[in-house]
Amino acid sequence: MNHSLEVRNLHVSIDGQAILKGFNLTVPKGEVHALMGPNGTGKSTLAKVMAGHEDYTVESGEVLLNGVNILGQEPDEISHAGLFLAFQYPMEIPGVSIANFIRAAKQARLPEGEEINAIEYYKDLYAKMDALKMDRKFTARSLNEGFSGGEKKRCEILQMAMLDPKYCVMDETDSGLDIDALRIVSEGVNHMRSENRAFLVITHYQRLLDYIVPDVVHVMFDGRIVHSGDKELAKELESKGYDWVKEAFATASA
């Protein structure tokens, strides 16, 4: 079996406008890849298409998890297949507590008739909240409702840790985080790094990559990856700015 997240020649449009234009990427298990690029270049679209969002039209291409194409599957099927998306803007779900939500999400993965062990569940939940320095009182709060930007992002990482996905896509997780929160969230992610898991970290800034050190950095522009390198590439981008990317690759792709 092919243990990777693989995107092959993906073309995606919304309302007739092309956004992804032949996107290719392979993230093998055990690696962390960063995807960087200017705003409006298609990073978030890629994340949502991989998760099965229905607003986008896939013109051609494939997204393979362990070699199986997930495009066209329902979002919950993709989730069960092992892909987790940490949202840039997590939704508020009034009246649904964090504890009940994560429990329902875990329950949805069990075979029919099998029940989650409540004691084990809470033990696990509390341990992971402690690691993310989240107050245990948070379990009873409505999911994301009235949360600060940092609290929302921590809650995303908590869900990711609890659901134990094999492929983690993190969309601008660093936005809205102060430096302390950034460190805590990054520790949470680093703790999850393993031979059995792949990460795609989408970010606009190099800052996050000081904490979550990537194996590979990709630069995205105008709907595709235009340049890849090691972690030093992120620093180069930081110093030269995205205008450099635009200048270097706008002409190349024209």
Residues that bind another protein (CB under 8 A): 51-54, 74-76, 78-80, 84-85, 87, 90-96, 100-102, 104-106, 108-109, 115, 118, 142, 159, 163
CB closer to another protein out of 110 and 127: 110
Nearest distance, CB of residue 7 and another protein, angstroms: 18
Q: How far is the CB of 25 from another protein (least distance, A)?
A: 20
Minimum Å gap between C-beta 84 and another protein is: 8
Closest separation between CB of residue 167 and another protein, Å?
A: 12
DSSP 139: G
CB of 54 to another protein, least distance (A): 8
Using the minimum distance from each CB to another protein, give the nearer residue, 106 or 207: 106
Q: Which two tokens stand for residue 92?
A: 């508020």
Q: What burial letters (b/e) apply to 215-243, b meaning 16+ CB within 10 Å?
A: bbbbbbbbbbbbbeeebebbeebeeeebe
Burial class of 137 by CB neighbour count within 10 A (0 to 12, 13 to 18, 19+): exposed
Query: Minimum Å distance from CB 147 to another protein?
Result: 14
Which tokens hold the place of 116? 């989650």
Q: What is the DSSP string of 215-238?
A: SEEEEEETTEEEEEE-HHHHHHHH
Six-digit token pair at 12?
A: 């995606």
Report the C-alpha gap between 138 and 151 in whole angstroms: 10
Nearer to another protein, 65 or 226 (CB): 65
Please calculate the CA angle 1-114-195 and round it to the nearest 5 degrees. 30
Q: For another protein, give the closer residue by CB, 47 or 233.
A: 47
CB closer to another protein, 71 vs 225: 71
CB nearer to another protein: give 108 or 127. Answer: 108
Whole-angstrom Cα Rg for the chain: 18
